[in-house]
A and B are shown apart, each in its own frame.
Chain A
Amino acid sequence: MASISPYGKRFISYLRREQIRKLLATKYRIDGRGPDQIRDVEIKTGVVKTADGSAEVRLGKTHVVAGVKVGLGQPFPDAPDEGVLVVNAEVLPHASPYTEVGPPDESAIELARVVDRGIRHCGYVDFKKLAVEGGKAYVLWIDLYVINDDGNLVDAANLASVAALKNTQLPTAVKDDAGAVKLDRNNRSPLPVEAAKAPVAVSVGKIGNVLFLDPTFEEELSLDGRITFTFSEDRIVAAQKTLGSFTQAELETALNLAQKGREKFLETLKSVI
């Protein structure tokens, strides 16, 4: 196991890259957006009937589905009175000409972990309410499936997870005749979530000196830098710089820009949660 520089696997022509760069210097992007504009966002919940909760997000042409499955399991040893969250992400072979068949690669693992960090501690889900008698706990499995990758997977995946959790109906934990605790899927109650605390992830890309929101797939291939901030209420609950390097001033500018982006995502999210 080692992380290997990914260059060479994804191709963008020099001309296209230069076109993106020059346009951006004039504060325009190839799809006509300004640097602080986000593509059209569409969120739908309850799209997977077999899941305990689900949502799909379309961010421009990026398409992500989140499915929640509730299980019963052992709590973590250092949090015996709390429910468990497990986030997994897969970028399906469908998603782009470059995605391979196989287990999640480092980018998919990173995606899952960044979404996980955003949700885990912000209080959107009160995990203390998910303990179950007999020393067990509810386990919330969030599986993120990227169906089409046109850039900015993490923002879309985060929205999908938040919406899917809101959509989740918890099967009631009951004791069967033998005294073992089981889940009754015919008897459900909504997973309690605090909408005001919904975590929102916002990615900022950098090409040259220009910072911009919501990069498309092609913009991602041309990036000099990239950082994602996740917000909940008045706090920053996660951050992940992936590509490149940033000065302190650039970090502050990126943070401000991300906060703007957050307002826009919240507008759409509010209608769902």
Chain B
Amino acid sequence: MKKPPVPLLQNGVRADGRAPDQMREVKISVGVVSNADGSAMVSYGTTTAVAAVYGPREMHPRHLSLPDRGVMRVRYHMAPFSTKDERKSPTPSRREIEISKVLREALEPAIVLEQYPRSRIDVFVEILQADGSTRVASLTAASLALADAGIYMRDLVIGVSVGLVDGTVVLDLNGLEDQYGEGDLPVGYMPNLKRFTLLQLDGAWTREAFLQALNLAVRGAEYVYQIARDALKTKYMSIAEEIYGR
């Protein structure tokens, strides 16, 4: 592995001061794109993703629509200015194409597509700032945007990343740890149904480290889930009071 510019882990403390099982600061807000049917902005540290949902709406072309359920269109894209150093070309890269597929497959199990025959549900996620864990931040943002749009969902899907740094399993990789660490395991988890809908792995993991990583991922997802609930509460508590304010 390449050598990082600073030691990633020293005496159980990570380069940015975190403990191995600590997330960066998580900020979530819902309803940030007024034209969209649903939207959310999620930040893990400086990594920031904005998701907008349009739908359900008519599916064009008709021959790609389905008579008994809706079709999802998911796009993950990184803004050219989102990466450190060099500008990233706006042309969709193979990585963005793969991640769009991975995100779609992470959201589909949670959505009751049978409720929306012949329609499509568009999910657009843009990374404004990238500092590791972009796809999992995107997943959280996308699922909140879908809930914000009122799309029927069996559960929210929360994304967190787990990694291997100097042989230690750590939660929420930042850019440095992603680049120089020994392994990367992004995860998407439904907190109520307790099921994983996104799981990828890169690096070299022992079986024990892998199983440990799953446990840490669940804890991390449950932590972010509470913040997500609070964000939804903030938006909706006022609406709830409206309906009961007779």
Determine whether A and B are in direct contact in the complex, meaning some CB atoms lie less than 8 angstroms apart.
yes
Interface 1/0 per residue, A237-268 and B, CB below 8 Å: 11111111111100110010000000000000
**Is B2 a contact of A235 with CB atoms below 8 Å?**
no
**Is A235 a contact of B96 with CB atoms below 8 Å?**
no
Judge whether B214 is part of the interface by a CB distance below 8 angstroms.
yes
Residues of A within 8 A of B199 (CB): 227, 239-241, 246, 251
**Is A235 a contact of B101 with CB atoms below 8 Å?**
no
Residues of A within 8 A of B124 (CB): 2
Q: Once bound together, how far apart are the Cα atoms of A165 and B109, in whole Å?
A: 38
Residues of A within 8 A of B74 (CB): 2-3
**Is A1 a contact of B205 with CB atoms below 8 Å?**
no
Partner of B92, one of A1, A238, A244: A1
Residues of A within 8 A of B206 (CB): 234-236
Partner of A3, one of B101, B202, B214: B101
**Is B195 a contact of A246 with CB atoms below 8 Å?**
yes
Most buried by B among A78, A122, A235: A235
Judge whether B200 is part of the interface by a CB distance below 8 angstroms.
yes
Judge whether B104 is part of the interface by a CB distance below 8 angstroms.
yes
Determine the interface band of chain A, counting residues with CB < 8 A from chain B: 35 or more
Judge whether B49 is part of the interface by a CB distance below 8 angstroms.
no
Q: Once bound together, how far apart are the Cα atoms of A4 and B210, in whole Å?
A: 31
Partner of B211, one of A4, A235, A238, A252: A252
**Is A4 a contact of B190 with CB atoms below 8 Å?**
no
Residues of B within 8 A of A133 (CB): none
Evaluate whether A1 and B75 lie within 8 angstroms (CB atoms) in the complex, with A7-B69, A234-B206, A245-B109 already known.
Answer: yes
How many B residues, CB 8 Å from partner? 52
**Is A3 a contact of B103 with CB atoms below 8 Å?**
yes
Expressed in whole angstroms, the minimum distance between the Cβ of A18 and any Cβ of chain B is 16
Evaluate whether A121 and B203 lie within 8 angstroms (CB atoms) in the complex, with A2-B73, A113-B94 already known.
Answer: yes
Expressed in whole angstroms, the minimum distance between the Cβ of B44 and any Cβ of chain A is 21
Expressed in whole angstroms, the minimum distance between the Cβ of B110 and any Cβ of chain A is 8
Judge whether B196 is part of the interface by a CB distance below 8 angstroms.
yes
**Is B101 a contact of A110 with CB atoms below 8 Å?**
yes
Q: State the majority secondary structure of interface residues on B.
A: mixed
Judge whether B21 is part of the interface by a CB distance below 8 angstroms.
no
Q: Once bound together, how far apart are the Cα atoms of A87 and B53, in whole Å?
A: 34
Judge whether A32 is part of the interface by a CB distance below 8 angstroms.
no
**Is A3 a contact of B100 with CB atoms below 8 Å?**
yes
Interface 1/0 per residue, B96-110 and A, CB below 8 Å: 111011111100110
Which parts of B73-89 form the interface with A (CB within 8 Å)?
73-75, 77
Evaluate whether A2 and B100 lie within 8 angstroms (CB atoms) in the complex, with A239-B200, A244-B109 already known.
Answer: yes
Q: Once bound together, how far apart are the Cα atoms of A199 and B200, in whole Å?
A: 16
Evaluate whether A106 and B100 lie within 8 angstroms (CB atoms) in the complex, with A1-B75, A247-B196 already known.
Answer: yes
Closest to A122 in B: B204
Partner of B198, one of A109, A237, A241, A247: A241
Judge whether B153 is part of the interface by a CB distance below 8 angstroms.
no
Expressed in whole angstroms, the minimum distance between the Cβ of B142 and any Cβ of chain A is 12
**Is B204 a contact of A232 with CB atoms below 8 Å?**
yes
Residues of A within 8 A of B246 (CB): none
**Is A245 a contact of B190 with CB atoms below 8 Å?**
yes
8 residue pairs from A and B, CB less than 8 Å apart: A2-B74, A4-B72, A7-B66, A78-B2, A110-B102, A235-B204, A236-B207, A248-B215
The chain A residues found within 8 Å of chain B, CB to CB, are 1-5, 7-8, 78-79, 106-107, 109-110, 112-113, 117, 121-122, 227, 229, 232, 234-248, 251-252, 255
The chain B residues found within 8 Å of chain A, CB to CB, are 2, 64-66, 69-75, 77, 92, 94-98, 100-105, 108-109, 113, 122, 124, 179, 185, 190, 193-207, 210-211, 214-215, 218
